[in-house]
């Protein structure tokens, strides 16, 4: 890539997630909850534009409202603080254009300008002696000295002799693992596109903060939601569609009417004419399209609650030293909440690297 941040890290919702949804004990729960706090601290310290907006997870029927308490319990088990249920009048008071029976108020959720966050991290890395290379697609990884675990990294920008390799190649992390001949390549990444629309300027005041539906229990995302950005735009999305290519951001985009239909569940007065097409991103999913709950990684101990069903269909991050090549740290399936989790994951990876180099 010609510059940093052309992957998922700048093609997302920019939400600093709370950790509400993920299975207790999962890496997603652990890194999201810690990452939430670290992200606020980092943004304040390094002048990254952000805001603790809070968010509402809205039930649009009585049936859905029954699921909210299970989600609150799940969040509390993960250490998410100050969660509370609010009624339809309180929803209206906060978001006058949103219709809901009941909602979870999640005060620790917020938004960040993801591109600025990425730039701040890059700046700090360079200040501390990192050498950043762009246009450096890695095409070969070769262990040159088994005893010393030296690895030759061949890239479009030349060769590097490495004592430690961190595979954090996003959508392509499984392919990097395969270059090494690692058994970790069994964690296949399925690209899942998420598209966004935007409210036209004259309707941007219809949303004040972040508004999410209840995630569909068997769905693979948090659901199509409303995000008010720091610039005041209102994004609606992302959608969820398994695609064949890891690089296909634009082909066969969903029609505006599709977004209007989804958005109407929470905002009944919205019409297709209120929307314009916006950006899209591609998730690095480890869960195949046809997966049942039983085949998904995090399904294990949860019962029939919203928490269990949701976690089951989203799976977990894979972050570990490669069992075949212990000088390699593999990060595979870093999908949402990867932006929120980044600083917590970085702490953990730093510890693994210290282990490797000592
Ligand atoms: C639609 C969408 C919405 C999301 N919303 C949120 C959200 O609101 N909150 C949240 O917390 N998370 C969100 N996420 C998830 C978050 O964006 C990702 O988890 C995170 O950005 C992943 O970061 P990454 O560094 O692993 O991947 P990327 O940002 O994709 O970076 C991977 C890098 O690896 C490089 N690379 C790949 N292959 C090679 C190679 N062969 N050689 C050299 N370099 C290579 C790429 O060029 C790229 O720079 C969302 C994701 C999507 C797609």
The answer for residues whose C-beta is within 8 angstroms of residue 238's C-beta and 6 or more apart is 13, 193, 194, 195, 196, 221, 224, 280, 281
CB of 60 shorter than 6 A to ligand 1:
no
Closest atom of ligand 1 relative to the 137 alpha carbon:
42
CA 194 to ligand 1: nearest atom: 1
pLDDT in tens, 80-116: 999 999 999 999 999 999 999 999 999 999 999 999 9
**Among protein residues, the one whose CA lies closest to atom 45 of ligand 1:** 169
Work out which ligand 1 atom sits closest to the CA atom of 338: 19
The ligand 1 atom nearest the CA atom of 335: 19
Residue owning the nearest CA to atom 34 of ligand 1 = 169
Q: Which of 247, 339, 344 to mutate for ligand 1's pocket (most ligand atoms within 8 Å of CB)?
A: 339
**Is residue 170 in contact with ligand 1, taking CB distance under 6 Å?**
yes
Q: What is the position in ligand 1's atom list of the atom closest to the CA of 9?
A: 21
Say how far apart CA 162 and CA 170 lie, in whole Å: 20
Cβ(339) to ligand 1 under 6 A? Answer: yes
User: Hunting for tokens 């209206």 — which residue is that?
Assistant: 92
Contact criterion met (CB below 8 Å) for 357 and 163: yes
Q: Write out residues in the chain with pLDDT < 70, as ranges.
A: 146-149, 217-220, 291-313
Regarding the beta carbon of 194 and ligand 1, being less than 6 Å apart is answered: yes
Q: pLDDT at position 168, please? A: 97
Query: How, if at all, do strands 150-155 and 110-112 pair?
Result: unpaired
Q: How many residues does the chain have?
A: 358
Confirm if 239 and 258 have CB atoms less than 8 A apart: yes
- Cβ(138) to ligand 1 under 6 A? yes
CB of 227 within 6 A of ligand 1: the answer is: no
Q: How far is the CA of 257 from the centre of ligand 1 (A)?
A: 28
Is the CB of 238 within 6 Å of ligand 1? Answer: yes
Query: Is 245 in a helix, a strand, or coil?
Result: coil
Counting beta carbons within 10 angstroms of the beta carbon of residue 103, is it exposed (0 to 12), middle (13 to 18) or buried (19 or more)?
buried
Evaluate: CB of 8 within 6 angstroms of ligand 1: yes
Confirm or reject: Cβ of 35 under 6 Å from ligand 1. no
Which pLDDT value is given to residue 296? 32
Q: Which residue has the tokens 């992957």?
A: 7
Q: Is the pTM of this model over 0.85?
A: yes
- Sign of the C-alpha dihedral computed for residues 117, 6, 311 and 92 taken in this order: positive
Q: Is the beta carbon of 332 within 6 A of some atom in ligand 1? A: no
Question: How far does the centroid of ligand 1 lie from the alpha carbon of residue 191, in Å?
Answer: 11
With a 6 Å cutoff on the Cβ, whether 17 touches ligand 1 is: yes
């Amino acid at each position: 890539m010609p510059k940093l941040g052309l992957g998922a890290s700048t093609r997302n919702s920019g939400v600093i997630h709370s950790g509400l949804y993920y299975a207790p004990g999962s890496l997603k729960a652990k890194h999201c909850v810690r990452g939430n706090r670290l992200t606020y601290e980092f943004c304040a310290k390094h002048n990254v534009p952000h805001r603790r907006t809070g968010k509402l997870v809205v039930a649009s029927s009585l049936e859905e409202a029954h699921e909210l308490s299970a989600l609150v319990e799940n969040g509390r088990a993960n250490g998410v603080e100050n969660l509370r249920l609010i009624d339809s009048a309180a929803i209206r008071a906060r978001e006058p254009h949103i219709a809901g029976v009941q909602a979870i108020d999640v005060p620790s959720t917020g938004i960040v300008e993801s591109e600025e966050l990425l730039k701040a991290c890059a700046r700090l890395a360079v200040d501390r002696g990192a050498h950043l290379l762009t246009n450096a697609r890695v095409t070969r990884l070769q262990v040159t000295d088994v005893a010393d675990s030296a690895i030759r990294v061949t890239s479009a920008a030349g060769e590097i002799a490495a004592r430690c390799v961190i595979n954090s190649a996003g959508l392509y992390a499984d392919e990097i693992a395969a270059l090494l001949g690692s058994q970790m390549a069994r964690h296949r990444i399925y690209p899942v596109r998420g598209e966004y629309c935007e409210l036209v300027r004259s309707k941007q005041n219809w949303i004040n903060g972040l508004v999410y539906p209840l995630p569909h229990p068997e769905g693979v995302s948090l659901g199509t939601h409303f995000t008010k950005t720091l610039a005041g735009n209102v994004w609606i999305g992302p959608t969820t569609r398994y695609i064949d290519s890891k690089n296909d951001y634009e082909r066969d985009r969903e029609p505006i009417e599709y977004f209007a239909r989804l958005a109407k569940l929470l905002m009944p007065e919205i019409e297709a004419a209120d929307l314009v097409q916006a950006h899209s991103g591609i998730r690095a999913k480890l869960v195949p399209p046809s997966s049942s709950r039983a085949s998904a990684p995090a399904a294990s101990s949860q019962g029939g609650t919203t928490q269990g069903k949701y976690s089951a269909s989203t799976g977990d991050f894979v972050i570990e030293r490669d069992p075949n090549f212990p000088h390699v740290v593999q990060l595979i399936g870093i999908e949402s909440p990867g932006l929120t989790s980044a600083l917590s994951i970085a702490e953990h990876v730093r510890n693994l690297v210290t282990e490797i180099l000592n």
